[in-house]
Structure 1
Amino acid sequence: MEAASNHAQFSSSPTLTVWKTITMRITTLAFGLSPLVATISGQMQMSNPPPLRSEFNPYTTDRNVDYSMTNPLRKDGSDFPCKGYHLELSTPLGEPVVKMQGGKLYRMTFTGGTSHEGGSCQVSLSVDGGSTFYVLHSYIGNCPATSGNNTLSFRVPSDVPFVQRALFAWTWFNKLGSREMYMNCASVTTLHEGPDKIDFFDRPRMFVANIGNGCTTEESEDVSFPDPGPELTIKNLAAAPPIGLCDPSKIRAPARKEKEKGKNENKEDNKEDNKEEGCSGPADKTKEKTGEHSVTLIPGSFVIGEAD
């Protein structure tokens, strides 16, 4: 009887019951958070230039910071491009974080944990608010690097248009894991320098896949971009082509139309500019415009030198 009584008192002790409840809740919470923590810290993200809504961006407010910057784009493409943050380009959150001078070399950096055994990446520029992205450089294989310093070097074309708030984009197609597309975008100011070997608007469009657009990348393979552009770094000669409707020629056609439209629209503007300002052409007009804007430059700018 005494043993039974002690057992009853042990089971019904209020203090012990509360302690057990707290312990169980803490354990449950810890197990519940583990996958979330792994997701947040396990991917890669662009850190410099700092993307829109990034914790590294000095113009991101506490209430607007996106701590899921490492997440891929949605499978249905509903947040393409830039996770939807390109729509904030004209707001205080879209202040440019760096200037990119045509003809110079730059370096971007990553931060994060798992690189999914690398993959393939591109860096691109949009000078029309995110409607069109033109490839600056493609990296096939080992991107991001599976070990060592995660940086990518690229050249800004000399003939890049002057745009106060352009979009610089890093896109990544991981080698291992689910078929996904990662994309971070930063607001930058682009500065025109002069003619380039290839017209800026003749560069290929940014490769898009794995977001419900009929084009996918192959599992456990580095993707080989159908049209990587003239500036290319290859770390895997055995990279696999994408699967599905990925023909870049069907994507590039509108770019040429936009280019011709822009040329026709600028003809009359250039004539008027020459009469009123006495300038010798659109290049001079561009240089004059650059002096009208102040550009915020983050300390430790990632300019690494001029292109040859």
Structure 2
Amino acid sequence: MYTKFFAFMILGSTFLMPALGHMNMKSPPPLQHRDNPFTQTVDEIYEFPLKKDGSDYPCKGHINALGTPEGKPVATWAAGSAQTFTLEGSGTHFGGSCQASLSYDKGKTFKVIKSWPGSCPNRESGSDQTFNFNIPKEAPSGDEVIFAWTWNNREREFFQNCAVVTITGGGAGISSLPDVLVSNIENGCLSPLTTAELKYPNPGTVVELGDGQYPLVLPTGNC
């Protein structure tokens, strides 16, 4: 009886782990997220990292929703305004590093507006983590701007969730801002594994450092 009980517990844990093992952006509601009011087909494994072969980059493959009813903006932000994003889930993988970025070319390039090297997500808590950032005053106006949260975690996984937003009162452009760091999807760039957190080679001018519990280490390869 005990053997069957423990076998059942192990099997149950195996099926539960994927649902509990990651984080994802909840707000602003991303493309094909259950909270997005324009979603018609919900991504049931939204909290999973991008595929190792990079076939679902950018935005977990949801970029095709742009220009369709599912790709309507979910928020309107003024250039220069203070904003937030919220993460949900229970698996922080004890930290990592995050970036917030904007794309004006349907995901071909993402320009970093803030970086969090270390303890992002917050390693001690799970759901409903809120992070503050500002929309650059130079950000151009647009109705199909992609806001992206990216996470390079300590397990060499890469996450990217994308929400469509409208930017108003915009400026001349953000082409001078650094590109988002993409790693661990067979693109020749690897983030640190297990014992350190990612130090961004070019984090931009707006940086919020983590708690310093782990050393920050630069990625290796063609980054």
With normalisation by structure 2, the TM-score equals 0.90
Give the share of equivalent positions with the same residue, in percent: 38
Q: For 2:110, give the aligned amino acid.
A: F
Q: Is 1:44 the equivalent of 2:23? A: yes
1:238 Cα shift? 3.0
Do the aligned residues in 2 keep the contact of 1:40 with 1:67 (CA within 8 Å)? no
Q: Distance in 1 between matches of 2:170 and 2:73?
A: 19
Instruction: Give CA deviations for 1:272-306 in whole Å, capped at 9, x if unaligned.
Output: xxxxxxxxxxxxxxxxxxxxxxxxxxxxxxxxxxx
1:60 Cα shift? 1.2
Q: Which structure is higher in strand share? A: 2
Pairwise mapping of residues 1-308 of structure 1 onto structure 2 (< 5 A)? 32=11, 34-61=13-40, 64-148=41-125, 150-175=129-154, 177=155, 179-194=156-171, 200-220=174-194, 221-235=196-210, 236=212, 238-246=215-223
Task: Quickly say closer, same or farther: Cα 1:245–1:95, change in 2 above 3 A.
Answer: same
Q: Tell me the number of residue pairs that the alignment of Structure 1 and Structure 2 aligns.
A: 215
Instruction: Give CA deviations for 1:244-265 in whole Å, capped at 9, x if unaligned.
Output: 111xxxxxxxxxxxxxxxxxxx
Structure showing greater radius of gyration is 1
Instruction: Tell me how large the CA RMSD over aligned residues is.
Output: 2.1
SS of match in other structure, 1:168: strand
Q: Distance in 2 between matches of 1:219 and 1:159?
A: 36
Q: Which structure is higher in helix share? A: 1
Do the aligned residues in 2 keep the contact of 1:223 with 1:240 (CA within 8 Å)? yes
Q: For 2:121, give the aligned amino acid.
A: P
Q: Distance in 1 between matches of 2:141 and 2:175?
A: 13
Where in structure 2 are there 5+ consecutive unaligned residues? none
SS of match in other structure, 1:234: coil
Q: Which portions of structure 1, spanning 4 or more consecutive aligned residues, are displaced by more than 6 angstroms?
A: 27-30
Tell which deviates more after alignment, 33-42 or 67-76: 33-42
Do the aligned residues in 1 keep the contact of 2:94 with 2:124 (CA within 8 Å)? no
Do the aligned residues in 2 keep the contact of 1:102 with 1:158 (CA within 8 Å)? yes
Instruction: Give CA deviations for 1:18-70 in whole Å, capped at 9, x if unaligned.
Output: xxxxxx9xx98886553232101221110000110011111112xx1012111
With normalisation by structure 1, the TM-score equals 0.66
Give the structure 2 partner of residue 285 of structure 1: none
Do the aligned residues in 2 keep the contact of 1:222 with 1:239 (CA within 8 Å)? yes
